[in-house]
Amino acid sequence: MLDFLWCGLLLLAVIYAAVSGNIGLVTEAAFTAAEEAVTLVIGLCGVICLWMGLLRIAEEAGLMQALGRLLSPLIRRLFPSVPKSHPAMGAIVMNVSANLLGLGNAATPMGLEAMRHLQELNPDKQSASPAMVTLLALNTAAITLMPTMVMGLRMAAGSEAPAAIVGATALSSSIGMAFALALDAALRRKGR
């Protein structure tokens, strides 16, 4: 549905530019935007490689496991139906840890793995379990202490202070996560 909306908007813009005699500006803007997109992607590749490498080093050094042990009591309270030693618990902890560091690219595969493990525990394979819904809420509105991707975008765009958003991001993502988890708990109680 959204793809039709974007295609429609793009088509209307091109038609308007043609009617108003500015089709040359559209062509120029398209090529300029394509060039800037390639530059941005190359810049982001460096940032992603750096943070993914640091995440891998942290994982090898045991820092992710330490963060997992620190988060484990909270995660167990959020997912009481998941056995403590089940692989889903480890994937959930890694997903939350990657989201804390603002590494959505690393959090996505871990979240998918956690969902796969949670589906194994799900008695009704046709609908999402409460644990799956909680993981979706937690992953979607995750707290981000270090917004690495946004900082990378700001650096690629030439920002003088790319880290200036850290406090605001931590505060707003904390509020969003608290609201998502409270809503999840309230709807779960209502559903019983």
What is the tens place of the pLDDT at every residue in 163-180?
Answer: 899 999 999 999 999 999
pTM: 0.69
pLDDT, mean over the chain: 85
- The number of C-alpha atoms within 13 Å of 156 and in the hemisphere containing its C-beta is 19
**Does the structure show a pLDDT above 80 at 58?**
no
pLDDT band at residue 86 using 50, 70 and 90 as cut-offs: confident
Spatial separation of the C-alpha atoms in residues 192 and 188, rounded to whole Å: 6
Q: Which of 2-6, 40-44, 97-101, 106-110 has the highest mean pLDDT?
A: 2-6
Q: pLDDT above 90 covers what percent of the chain?
A: 20
Instruction: Say what angle helices 104-121 and 87-100 make with each other, to 10 degrees.
Output: 160
Q: What is the pLDDT of residue 192?
A: 59
What is the tens place of the pLDDT at every residue in 142-166?
Answer: 888 888 778 878 887 788 998 899 9
Spatial separation of the C-alpha atoms in residues 52 and 78, rounded to whole Å: 27
Spatial separation of the C-alpha atoms in residues 13 and 5, rounded to whole Å: 12
Q: List Cα–Cα distances, 63 to 25, 70, 91, 110, in angstroms.
A: 52, 10, 15, 17
Q: What is the pLDDT of residue 65?
A: 73
**Does the structure show a pLDDT above 80 at 130?**
yes
